[in-house]
Structure 1
Amino acid sequence: MNKLQRFFSDNWTIQRHDLENTVSLLLPCILNGNIEAAVAQLSKAKCTVKATAAPYMAKWYELDDITLPVDSIAVITLTGTLYSWESEWVIKQIEAAELNPNICGVVFVIDGPGGMVSHLDMAATAVENCTKPTATVVTGIMASAHFWLGTASDRTFIASPLCEVGSVGIVCTHTSFKEFFRQNGIDYREIYPDTADLKNKEYRAIVDNNDETLIKQKAEKIHKVFAETVARNLGITYDPELPLFRGEMFSGDEAVAAGYIDQFGGLKDAVTWVLAQATSRKAEQLYK
């Protein structure tokens, strides 16, 4: 139930059709009273973490496997909508990789349309602050929340010119059940004391006056943080007029040409790059 509540109360940085598709799967379950099915839909495992070691990348290990070779790479795979509890999970996996002396770096393999805002900034900060080398590989789409997270790594790769990245933007959703309650004979009211006149003001403005202004102002603040963070990740100046920061999507070749992705490459390339960076850092420590 907690996941379902968080789904309907969060702000989103996601492509519209993917959010709409998820809602279309959840609502029939909810309207039929099958809450368990709705929660199960949100609980499907989409994120995985394994470790591998170059050059024998056909073999995969759990992060806590005692036979894990030295200089292994943690590979975190993120697919589908990124929920807030999955961002929390990402933070824990980075912490686990940091603590394991046999893991020398982290690679993210991403194919996702974005997701919830909650905990996303903290997950991206964990990636940015990771003391071990990090890289991201785009294998399909890396949009919105996934773009925020993926560009926080030290190096970004994209597998094909047909892959897409971008969609830097925010969408806030509003759901009111008052009419549904009324049709079912339920008199639902929210009564506030005069001394708490600002409580839930964004919600009350849209419900009572159909005024989206306050919600849009909140969304603009989140969007600015999102855009400024991406600009810092990419090493460019934040320009509100730039299509990247207005929600545009870019194909793989466009993204590499514009500097939004570092280079073409797949998982093997990313693992090799991370290993090279880790080896270089070790060599520097030896001569300090």
Structure 2
Amino acid sequence: MKQELSAVISAIRSQPWAILPDYLAAIEAIALRAFDSDVLERLAKDGHAMQVQHSLEAVAALGTRLDGSEMSMVRNGVAVVPLVGAIYPRSNMVSASSGGTSLDTVMRDMRVAWASSDVERIVMLIDSPGGVVSGLGEAAEMLRAGPKPMTSFVTGMAASAAYWLGSQAGDMVLDRAASVGSIGVVASMSRQEAVDADGRRSYEIVSSGAPFKRPDPSTEEGRASIQRDVDAIEGVFVGDVAAGRRVPEGVVREQFGKGAMVFAGEAVRVGMADRIGTLEGVLSQGSGSNRTKVVGGRSRASAEIETRRRAAQ
């Protein structure tokens, strides 16, 4: 049993994350069903879980289900696509247990909204601590080049991976109590230091030509290898934020929190977001403040195919 639990943790730690530290620890605890973990108690006290539930309820009450979508609503020509909870590349057992969201589902709903004749503009409703980095670069490019005006509205937090995506909108609006940031990437891993409690010890033999396939964080060389990887991903993260917010990368690195969360007023002041507002105000506003985009034939055809496929399901 202990080996199975170790395998679950190893799978979670096998890829970099762009997420707040306590939430990564909580995901590991949920995966192990370790509900007596201190981190789960801390997160229960911070009120974010309740805020996430309120966000989901708010989306459900906004209008009618967007035809062909899985979780998005539409009202008066405005589609609301939720990005709520920890972000995973695809739906899985851990995402379901932790109240997370699937990046794959979010982007499918986006393509449906882009293709729908009932949708004039899109609001991405965000309340997320971040998530797995896999797929975020491609998703950010797609959002940045989307064919319809898009506003990101942050109702609670847009941390790390969530800010990576939300910053691609032409207009980013924050609730007055919201926070954004945590720009950076973390790699979490462990190495066996002693014999397992059941008397077994695990070994890994890596082929001679692949010394960095399993870098050892207990060595200087191993840590340097891991550092290069997370720094490279951070470079993509910073580049996308800079492109989305239309500022130089140096501004992102020096003024956008340096990995910390930044509250609404300060975030607007330094350019991490455009303004403070309300969801109702965002839903009722015109689209003039957003960037106008034109979609090519291939993108529109792809979106229409996705709409028909989702509607058939």
Same fold flag (TM > 0.5): yes
What is the CA–CA distance in structure 2 between the aligned matches of 1:190 and 1:236, rounded to whole Å? 45
Deviations 1:82-109 (A, max 9, x none): 1122112221111111222112221111
Give the aligned length: 256
- In the alignment, what sits opposite 1:93? 109
1:72 paired to 2:77: yes
Letter matched to residue 249 of structure 2? Y
Residues 16, 186 of structure 2: 8 Å contact kept: yes
Residues 107, 137 of structure 1: 8 Å contact kept: yes
CA spacing shift, 1:270–1:181, aligned 2, 3 Å: farther
- In the alignment, what sits opposite 1:131? 147
Three-state SS of the structure 1 residue aligned to 2:188 is coil
Deviation at 1:124, TM superposition (A): 1.6
Three-state SS of the structure 2 residue aligned to 1:212 is helix
Residues 133, 274 of structure 1: 8 Å contact kept: no
1:270 paired to 2:285: no
- Mapping of residues 22-41 of structure 1, within 5 Å: 22-28=27-33
Identity of aligned residues (%): 23
CA spacing shift, 1:59–1:27, aligned 2, 3 Å: closer
- In the alignment, what sits opposite 2:269? 257
Deviations 1:54-91 (A, max 9, x none): xxx853233349xx989622211122211122112221
What is the CA–CA distance in structure 2 between the aligned matches of 1:91 and 1:3, rounded to whole Å? 27
Deviation at 1:3, TM superposition (A): 9.3
What is the CA–CA distance in structure 1 between the aligned matches of 2:29 and 2:167, rounded to whole Å? 30
The two structures have a TM-score, normalised by structure 2, of: 0.70
What is the CA–CA distance in structure 1 between the aligned matches of 2:74 and 2:234, rounded to whole Å? 42
Deviation at 1:168, TM superposition (A): 0.6
CA spacing shift, 1:141–1:192, aligned 2, 3 Å: closer
- Mapping of residues 75-224 of structure 1, within 5 Å: 75-85=80-90, 86-160=102-176, 162-176=177-191, 178=192, 182-194=196-208, 196-198=209-211, 200=213, 203-206=214-217, 211-224=222-235
Letter matched to residue 211 of structure 2? L
The structure with more radius of gyration:
1
Residues 121, 287 of structure 2: 8 Å contact kept: yes
CA spacing shift, 1:276–1:96, aligned 2, 3 Å: same
Residues 105, 274 of structure 1: 8 Å contact kept: no
1:63 paired to 2:67: yes
> Which stretches in structure 2 are left out of the alignment for 5+ residues?
36-51, 91-101, 295-313
Deviation at 1:281, TM superposition (A): 8.3
CA spacing shift, 1:80–1:209, aligned 2, 3 Å: same
CA spacing shift, 1:4–1:198, aligned 2, 3 Å: closer
Deviation at 1:14, TM superposition (A): 1.0
Q: CA RMSD in A?
A: 3.5
CA spacing shift, 1:184–1:250, aligned 2, 3 Å: same
- In the alignment, what sits opposite 1:37? none
What is the CA–CA distance in structure 1 between the aligned matches of 2:152 and 2:77, rounded to whole Å? 16
Residues 49, 75 of structure 1: 8 Å contact kept: no
Deviations 1:191-233 (A, max 9, x none): 2343x33351xx3332677831110111111111111211121
Deviation at 1:237, TM superposition (A): 1.2
The two structures have a TM-score, normalised by structure 1, of: 0.75
Three-state SS of the structure 1 residue aligned to 2:151 is strand
Deviations 1:245-286 (A, max 9, x none): 6213211111112221111112222223455579x989xxxx
Three-state SS of the structure 1 residue aligned to 2:249 is coil
Residues 51, 60 of structure 1: 8 Å contact kept: no
What is the CA–CA distance in structure 2 between the aligned matches of 1:24 and 1:51, rounded to whole Å? 28
Deviation at 1:50, TM superposition (A): 10
Deviation at 1:48, TM superposition (A): 6.7
Three-state SS of the structure 2 residue aligned to 1:190 is coil
- In the alignment, what sits opposite 2:38? none
Residues 15, 114 of structure 1: 8 Å contact kept: yes
CA spacing shift, 1:139–1:243, aligned 2, 3 Å: same
Deviation at 1:145, TM superposition (A): 0.5
CA spacing shift, 1:70–1:143, aligned 2, 3 Å: closer
